[in-house]
Amino acid sequence: MAILTATQLAEMRQRLVKKLGIMAIDFDKPTVNAAFQAIEDWYEANKGQISSDINTATAPFVFTPQQKKWLGAYWLLQKSKREDV
């Protein structure tokens, strides 16, 4: 399990606050830090499975680990824009 650093957490909190706007903040620093760490933990626990799933879907072609990271990043960005959360 990767533990997010204070710097990483601060950067994500700052981006979140900027995106939400100060009036939409109804949580405190420990709460949002715990949420970010939960996401990190989930990702670390499941990244091997998504890599295998990509390999199965694209066989015999195999994307590099870096290409898989970018595939996932672009998918998540696009997904977050089209989902009504």
The conformation of residue 25, written as its DSSP 8-state character, comes to -
Could you give the CA distance from residue 54 to residue 62 in angstroms, rounded to a whole number?
8
Could you give the CA distance from residue 37 to residue 50 in angstroms, rounded to a whole number?
19
Confidence of residue 83 (pLDDT cuts 50, 70, 90): confident
Could you give the CA distance from residue 85 to residue 82 in angstroms, rounded to a whole number?
9
36, 12 in Cβ contact below 8 A?
yes
Prior bond to 65 cis, omega within 30?
no
Q: What is the pLDDT of residues 57-78, one digit of tens each?
A: 999 999 999 999 999 999 999 9
CA 19 to chain centre: 16
Q: What does the pLDDT average to over 19-45?
A: 91
